[in-house]
Chain A
Amino acid sequence: MASILTNLFDGVAYGMLLFVLACGLAVTLGLMNFVNLAHGAFAMAGGYICAVLVNQSGWPFFAALPLAFVGSAVIGIALERTLYRHLYSRSHLDQVLFSIGLVFMSVAAVDYIMGSSRVFIKLPAALEGQIDLFGVGIGRYRLMIVVICGLLTLALQLILAKTRFGSRLRAAVDDPRAAIGLGINVPQVFAFTFAFGCGLAGLGGALSAEILGLDPYFPLKFMIYFLIVVTVGGSSSITGPFFASLLLGIADVAGKYYVPKLGPFVIYTVMIVILLWRPNGLFGRTAAR
């Protein structure tokens, strides 16, 4: 019983991590209709910013996390203004080619600057080990991930649904021309949203270094996971990717624990079954553009 709960918890933590990493992609893909395969590169940037700050400049881990967010967001906005915005109106193939090119450039650049070996972030002692909760082993680091990611999800949902910016964004997405006509600065809204998505990826990258490992090939290795989350969740809201991440995280962990021989395939099986059942994802809009 105890190990079922531990597994469930591990699955939730893993799913939450996937969500923070991938929800920026859900935003750019679903809301802005831009296929950004370079999303993982921003996550990697965040991871490396955090690693350099903590390991080389001696910053405390919790101070470096927001910086990972800000740093990735700044890189995101710089690239959005200089490169991405020229591709918004281009075909998806152009966007794919452009962003995959960016991935390879980021891989080579990080390999050149930081070296190809894995980087670890020195954690404060308070985050190491497990706590025992009624006989259930709960990893402290994973608990922190669940807390941070849970709060983030809540905040995101509130921003999108309740704030003025949220309604502007939804308006800009639904009908950019009408939104411009109503005086909404659509390019600005998109730039800000894009940067925010990159920032989230950066934060996810920093958080995932401990669990997924951080090396220059990060954007390539995890691209497939991000895409699975977005396809399964449907890319029109953030609740979709959120539940998809949780489902995939739990299925992946449970699959690896109970049927280790099939373990790695469980996540793909789940994806195929869900997509057969709902081709637009769990919460996808049936009439996608």
Chain B
Amino acid sequence: MFNRRKVLLWGAASAALCGFCANVPARADDVVKIGLILPMTGGQASTGKQIDNAIKLYMQQNGDTVAGKKIEVILKDDAAVPDNTKRLAQELIVNDKVNFIAGFGVTPAALAAAKLATEAKIPEVVMAAGTSIITERSPYIVRTSFTLAQSSTIIGDWAVKNGIKKVATLTSDYAPGNDALTFFKQHFTAGGGEIVEEVKVPLANPDFAPFLQRMKDAKPDAMFVFVPAGQGGNFMKQFAERGLDKIGMKVIGPGDVMDDDLLNNMGDAALGAVTAHLYSAAHPSQMNKDFVAAYKKAFGNRPGFMAVSGYDGIHLIYEALKKTGGDTNGDKLIEAMKGMKWESPRGPISIDPETRDIVQNIYIRKVEKVDGELYNVEFATFEAVKDSGKTKK
């Protein structure tokens, strides 16, 4: 009750003020609200926690005022269930009058909010979900994470050029897994490679044994793998158990499997896996070293690619506000974000003005032991990779 009265008073006061100065917008509030919707519970919780942590870290380092406005982040947990995402986004937009919605752990969640962003004309900053179509669903969607096409096409190109001729694929049977497989196959076979075995593993898969045995019998040069981050460890352990590492089979794939978040717990089985990805905690730039050190100090573990996507997402919001001088008009903000370039802990990145999707370097990395811990050590770089998975060319 008290709040409502207060709002009414403010409304009356600002209406009165407007009589004097016509230039000031009717609701002259000095707060910019960001509705952050993340999976903080459920199977995707590690994604949500990393992004939330990274945003807290960024705001600690850069203060919570931009262009004279105070930034307020409202965190909501959707447990990666799209119905929740939609409801929460609606509440945030209608009740809390947020100026941005951000986060979105999985593709269906990002898509569920797309229509609302369009109707409300506010930017939707996607900080995790990775299917290509997302940015096509609303002119107000901007992405700071990655697309699966980016890493999967690159690892396909790399594999052909580096003497891998026959590949068996093992991918989880869900949208990102199928995306990864399609893009890899396109580029790998176009370069002259051959897919000798193709296995789609159910998403809730308790045991990889039979699939791995099938891989072993197909005798490929390498295995292309995409499983949800949490299953990567089990996969690598069973890979080693079956002695596949000893017969010289390589593991390649997009880097999600070797997420920094989990890598160190996978044990030596993961050593030697080659993946293509946007970020490694071992990226050798000074900026990244500072970022990793600050993140470790604040939260006790190392940041993964989700953390860096969140860190860049909030940076993009800050910079867009600076550019508009604190104006929170959605169209102006999106216009400001298009083409923006900056140096991130992952390397140089920019927002494609055409697609509002991220353009970034994709690194080829190998799992190695550095100071007793497992890291993805980058050894080749493909510069400024755009998303090649858009349906509209």
Contact = CB atoms under 8 A, between A and B. Distances in A.
Interface of A: 3, 6-7, 10, 14, 108, 111, 115-120, 122, 128-130, 137, 139-142, 210-213, 215, 217, 221-222, 225, 252-257, 260-261, 263-264
A189 B199 CA distance: 49
Contacts, number: 106
A114 to B, nearest CB: 12
Contacts of A263: 202, 210-211
Interface residues of B, number: 37
Contact of A139 (B41, B45, B242): B242
A209 to B, nearest CB: 9
B276 to A, nearest CB: 23
Contacts of B201: 260
A260 B199 contact: yes
B210 A7 contact: yes
Contact of A212 (B199, B200, B206, B214): B206
B230 A213 contact: yes
B234 A128 contact: no
B241 A117 contact: no
Given A14-B207, A116-B45, A137 B243 contact: yes
Contact of A260 (B200, B209, B230, B240): B200
Interface of B: 41-43, 45-46, 49, 199-202, 204-207, 209-211, 213-214, 216-217, 230-231, 233-234, 237-238, 240-243, 246, 261-262, 265-267
B233 to A, nearest CB: 6
A118 B236 CA distance: 13
Nearest to A132: B243
Contact of A257 (B214, B242, B266): B214
Contacts of A260: 199-201, 210-211, 214
B230 A253 contact: no
Given A14-B209, A211-B207, A264-B202, A118 B242 contact: no
Given A118-B262, A137-B243, A211 B206 contact: yes
B46 A117 contact: yes
Nearest to B238: A211
Nearest to B231: A213
A117 B209 CA distance: 22
Contacts of A116: 41-43, 45-46, 49
A210 B237 contact: yes
Given A111-B45, A217-B43, A264-B202, A118 B234 contact: yes
Nearest to A130: B243
B184 to A, nearest CB: 18
Given A10-B209, A212-B207, A264-B202, A120 B237 contact: yes
A191 to B, nearest CB: 31
A253 B213 CA distance: 10
Contacts of A261: 200
B242 A130 contact: yes
A118 B45 contact: no
23 contacts: A3-B216, A7-B210, A10-B209, A14-B207, A108-B41, A116-B42, A117-B261, A117-B262, A118-B230, A118-B234, A119-B265, A130-B241, A210-B234, A210-B237, A211-B234, A213-B233, A253-B207, A253-B209, A253-B210, A255-B210, A256-B210, A260-B210, A263-B202
A210 B237 CA distance: 8
Closest 8 interchain pairs by CB?
A256-B210, A257-B210, A116-B45, A264-B202, A10-B209, A253-B210, A213-B234, A212-B206
Contacts of A137: 242-243
Nearest to A118: B230
